[in-house]
Structure 1
Amino acid sequence: MLRKKLPGINGLVTFEAAARYLSFTQAADELCVSQAAVSRQIKRLEEQLACPLFLRVRRHLELTKDGQRLFQAVTMGLGHIGSVCDEIRRTQATDQITIASTLAFSTFWLMPRIRAFQQQYPHVKVHVIATDKASELRSDKVDLALTCGNSQLQGHETHYLFSERAYPVCSPAYLESRKAPATPEDLLQHRLLHMDEQLWDNIGWDAIDWQAWMQHFGVDAIDLPSGLTFNNYPMLIQAVMEDEGIALGFEHSTGDLVAKGKLVALTDKKWDTGRGYYLAIKSNLVHNPDVQALSQWLLNNY
């Protein structure tokens, strides 16, 4: 029944262009047809509706009241159809999934899970962006993002992964010639490794550093032992594994290394910082089968 009430789609598309430009010539150029073809389409549409849609006033076209009503309706209708078609194309024809996270999160948490995912879903192409810049983590080019401390990201569906826990770590060899610290205060007698404060600023997160960790456990940390400072977390952990000193480990990043005996967790003081980690999925991609497969894999294997 709806089809019988509607004029042909070609006529409506032609009318929309002619009404937008108020020119049959410009409409013809946009549609790659002749001016005569535009005139025929408009005439046929006016016959179907039994009313004029354009008036010629002093060599210029103007819309009649009925033409204005139709133009408003057609513009809204075609605009909505175009938006839905674009969304369907993006949803169904994703050549690859782009997932972004910090350099540390990508190195220590994401990559082992991506490798396992690829073995199960070899046909799914995944593009990993490892970055410590907030703007790149929130780029429109990113389909899935692993974020910290923010459960809501506009235009995304978010899923909670886990809370952030920080604790001191060192290499097994570091302790061979040293007494293991038994309390947070004992750490002040050791070589502590640090993260560059600029890193936290770039990511846009509040710093979780030695001073914050010490203060949480009631230790006066005004004069912290000096040690090497690094501008990215994987380099910091590499230095720890090479016996350079003690660093703050984060459970999601260093947990596997501790479990494998490559790092040692010092003291039983784990600070739950109150921040959470989340998987953010673009809202228009939540029904994409490949995106669903990857997101469910990450949510089930954290």
Structure 2
Amino acid sequence: MTRSYIPLNSLRAFEAAARLLSFTKASKELNVTHAAISQQVKALEQHLKCRLFIRISRGLMLTAEGESLLPILNDSFDRIANTLDRFSDGQMREKMKIGVVGTFAIGWLLPRLENFRRLHPHVDVLLSTHNNQVDSVAEGLDYAIRYGSGAWHGTGAQFLCDAPLSPLCCPALGAQLRDPGDLHRFTLLRSYRRDEWSTWFSSVGASAPSLSQHFMMFDSSLTMLQAAQAGAGIALAPATMFNHLLEDGRIVQPFSQSVSLGGYWLTRLQSRVETAAMRDFSAWLLATIAAEASSAPGG
């Protein structure tokens, strides 16, 4: 069967006139004459063998056929425009949506993300943060960076780095701590995992917290450290993610001992096919972490 092609100008003229319900406004938008719009619409109607407009006293009204055609053209022209907007300097821009657990975003990723942008200027990174509870399907994520063991159903996971937990607190409380047993006199701040503090105490050979020990639970290490800075208690958190607070003295690490209960992982749904932008980001992320690990003392 021979396919009959419709001139793009006719479709564009109809779309503008139908959206604005005016040949005059459409002519101004497309920078052509009123007569040109009228002729293009008439040619389209002849091609389709149906009327698309009805003239009324106040201007134009779409027929049922015109109403069915307009949203299809709206979507098609929007998609064309969005695709053309993605071209820059002869290269198509790519969008990549990443959900990042807030502690890793603040403590590691954001200070280094500009380096990725310089190396890959064609990739637009759309970043959102979460508190380790994330739905990659509902949020349409390409990647999710999460804390844990690396085992998530239907998800591929690439290990990024360990996140050992250490006691962290404000300087005023830190000055009162001489040995791990002193921690029993203070409020202990923890995440949703009940075994974090008991595991840490066991690792340093100290007695576990008693039943009377006061705890405060947080769903984010970021808010936990805000509480620690305010003197609310002693946090157990990944010290390497809070170097900026340690360096400027807003918090201190009274004991060097740490315990590892998980790490950070780059994850994606197994059903999600990697794009070129995703491969660029993954390669940059792993290479940067490896380079910093090898240059660190003892690396």
**Shorter-chain TM band:** 0.5 to 0.7
What's the counterpart of residue 161 of structure 2? 162
The amino acid of 2:147's aligned partner reads C
After TM superposition, give the deviation of residue 282 of structure 1 in Å: 5.2
After TM superposition, give the deviation of residue 188 of structure 1 in Å: 1.0
Higher relative contact order (CA 8 A, sep 6+): 1
C-alpha change, 1:150 and 1:138, in structure 2 (3 Å) is: farther
Correspondence 1:1-302 to 2 at 5 A: 95-132=94-131, 134-137=133-136, 139=138, 141-151=140-150, 157-175=156-174, 178-179=175-176, 181-195=177-191, 197=192, 206-207=193-194, 209-217=196-204, 218-223=206-211, 225-226=213-214, 228-273=216-261, 275-281=262-268, 284-286=272-274, 288-302=275-289
After TM superposition, give the deviation of residue 297 of structure 1 in Å: 2.1
Identity between Structure 1 and Structure 2 (%): 22
C-alpha change, 1:227 and 1:147, in structure 2 (3 Å) is: closer
Kept in 2, the 8 Å contact 1:241–1:263? The answer is: yes
- Say how many residue pairs are matched: 202
Q: Secondary structure at the match of 2:135?
A: helix
Give the TM-score, by structure 1 length: 0.55
Give the TM-score, by structure 2 length: 0.55
C-alpha change, 1:135 and 1:289, in structure 2 (3 Å) is: closer
CA-based RMSD of the aligned residues comes to 3.5
After TM superposition, the runs of 4+ consecutive aligned structure 1 residues lying more than 6 A away are none
Kept in 1, the 8 Å contact 2:165–2:236? The answer is: yes
Kept in 2, the 8 Å contact 1:211–1:222? The answer is: no
The amino acid of 1:107's aligned partner reads I
After TM superposition, give the deviation of residue 270 of structure 1 in Å: 0.8
Residues 22-78 of structure 1 deviation map (CA, whole Å, 9 limit, x = unaligned): xxxxxxxxxxx9xxxxxxxxxxxxxxxxxxxxxxxxxxxxxxxxxxxxxxxxxxxxx
Matches of 1:237 and 1:220 in 2, distance apart? 22
